[in-house]
Amino acid sequence: MTTSIQFWDFEVWEFLLTLSALFLSMMIANGLRRTIPFLRKSLIPSSVIGGFLILAFIGIYRAITGRLPFQTTTIESLTYHGLGLGVVAMTFQSADRRSGKEARRDVFNSSLITVSTYLIQAIAGLSITVLLFYLLGSWAQSGILLPMGYGQGPGQAFNWGTTYMNNYGFEHGSSFGLSVAACGFLAASLGGVIYLNLAARKGKKRSENAEEQENLTAAVITTRGEIPLSESLDKLTMQFALVFAAYGLAYAMMLGLSALCELGGGFFVSTVKPLIWGFNFLFGMLAATILKGYFKVGKKLGFVHRSYTNDFLLTRISGLMFDLMVVASIASIDLSAFRYREFWLPLLLVCIAGGVISYFYVRFLSRRFFPSYSDEQFLVMYGMLTGTVSTGLILLREVDPLFKTPAANNVIYQNLWSILLGAPMLLLMGIVAQSMQMTFVTLGILAVLFVLMIVLLFRSVIFRRRKSAE
């Protein structure tokens, strides 16, 4: 006899009710942000406020009933997959890159600043928690999650925090990573407001209605040769189909590589396998690139006649996924972890250090390498390197609502260079927690990589001095 579920069973509704609660929290947060002057001026994104609202609701509900209103695994899964799906949607967008030597130089310099900020965050965070390990017995490697939470955002912070928790005994690791990411959004908002007020004193005016200013034309929404908005398959449905098809292909890649790790034995299972599943967004990006290549070749060979992707809709999908990732990530924080000094003291010190160092480091380099639009470059870079790209764009729109400066393009087109230059650091994430010896080795390699990024940044100055000396 087979058992079937009934439509009134909670299991039928659980996932959708969780989504409903997350979206409702963002709607309430957006209303609060628009009506409360303090919140509007704080520049905190609605998804971040919504996440804290859900977190407060979970805490109250748990205190009253003794249980959670949602399955923790459901919210954590949304955090994990939100990053991967959002990156896939971004990858499908056409790369209409800026041309010209100066534009390419600015994009490359932006990537060097991005990676070097990751590195200085990692060095500072890891140094603090290694010191606290010897003083208080805190988990020595937890500081390495600073660049994952600040620079990479909630998805990667959760991925690596969970990996360290499951494989290396970092108790409350996922909550630590998510808490770092939440503090990153607060650091972005606080630093952004401070900088904007300082800029206003120098005569740099803030936009009064940045959120209302949109530049939507027919050319922005659609281009010639694309499939119609609605035929036998809706255009939005096609975008979702492509995104999920690529993500499914990414899963197949990771599954195949995991099988090879199982054949390779214990070292690969304990080290390489978590690394593979932690980089789901990279495999998603690779899968989307493969599908893009298929359509491009198909057009040349004549068996693909129309463009199936639409940049406008794909941008909306990526925004949806990232908003969902942010609100779910904050809702996933385990508040009970804050009972332990071994948790909150490293978190507090690491997050304060990360915010202060990122602020002054990015401000110095923005003024040095982008003198004609240093304010715009700082705001978008600092927002991105403490929150997400969306956070950076929110700050940028306060002084450049129509994105007339190259700052927005710089942070979008620097991603490929950042992935290539930042790959060694990401690989270090898989070995830093294996032993204290490997922790110190990682610190040394991070320092060498940081010096290398600085040399590349100041390459023109170094080259001119060598030439004049000769």
Is 24 within a domain? yes
Q: What is the 3-state secondary structure (H, E, C) of 267-284?
A: HHHHHHHHHHHHCHHHHH
Amino acid letter for position 253: M
Residue range(s) defining the domain that contains residue 272: 14-94+103-206+237-469
Identify whether 370 is part of a domain: yes
Query: How many CB atoms sit inside 10 A of residue 3's CB?
Result: 4
Check: CB of residue 399 under 8 Å from CB of residue 204: yes
- Predicted local confidence at residue 30, as pLDDT: 92
Inter-CA distances, 20 with 24, 27, 212, 374, 404, Å = 6, 10, 26, 41, 37
Vertex 22: Cα angle to 17 and 27 (nearest 5): 120
Q: Residues 6 or more apart from 144 whose CB is under 8 A from it?
A: 122, 125, 126, 129, 160, 429, 432, 433, 442
Count of Cβ atoms closer than 10 Å to residue 416 Cβ: 13
pLDDT at 369: 93
Say if 280 falls within a structural domain: yes
> What is the overall mean pLDDT for the chain?
85
What are the average pLDDT values for consecutive 10-residue runs of the chain, which has 470 residues? 71 89 94 88 83 91 87 86 87 68 86 95 96 90 94 85 89 90 89 84 59 56 71 87 96 94 78 79 89 90 85 88 88 80 88 96 94 91 87 80 79 80 87 92 96 88 53
Backbone angles phi, psi at 290, to 5 degrees: -65, -45
Q: Tell me the chain's radius of gyration from C-alpha atoms.
A: 23
Task: Give me the pLDDT at residue 22, please.
Answer: 94
pLDDT for residue 10: 74
CA 123, CA 146: separation in Å to the nearest integer? 9
Q: What distance, in Å, lies between the first and last C-alpha atoms of the chain?
A: 89
Q: Does residue 429 form part of some domain?
A: yes
Query: Which residue has tokens 């087979």?
Result: 2
Please tell me the distance from the alpha carbon of residue 228 to that of residue 234, in angstroms, as a whole number: 8
CA distance 330 to 326: 6
Domains in the chain, number = 1
Asked if 341 and 63 count as a contact pair (C-beta separation under 8 A), the reply is no
Contacts 24+ apart (CB under 8 A), 417-423: 417/107, 417/108, 417/111, 417/112, 418/111, 418/114, 418/115, 419/282, 421/111, 421/112, 421/115, 421/453, 422/114, 422/115, 422/118
The model's pTM = 0.78
pLDDT at 67: 86
Q: Residue 67: inside a domain, yes or no?
A: yes
Joined together, the tokens standing for residue 281 give 């967004």
Domain contains 263: yes
Q: Is residue 5 part of a domain?
A: no
For the chain, helix (H) and strand (E) counts, in that order, are: 21, 0
The neighbour count for residue 403, using CB atoms within 10 Å, is 15
Other C-beta atoms lying within 10 Å of the C-beta of residue 306? 10
> What torsion, rounded to 10 degrees, do the Cα atoms 374, 377, 381, 384 define?
140
Q: Does residue 214 belong to any structural domain of this protein?
A: no
The answer to whether 74 and 14 are in contact (CB under 8 A) is yes
pLDDT tens-place string over residues 15-67: 999 999 999 999 999 999 889 988 887 778 888 899 899 989 998 998 899 88
Query: Residue 343 burial (CB < 10 Å; 0-12/13-18/19+)?
Result: buried
Spacing of C-alpha 339 from chain mean position: 28
pLDDT tens, position by position, 116-167: 999 999 999 999 999 999 998 889 999 999 999 998 888 888 889 998 998 8
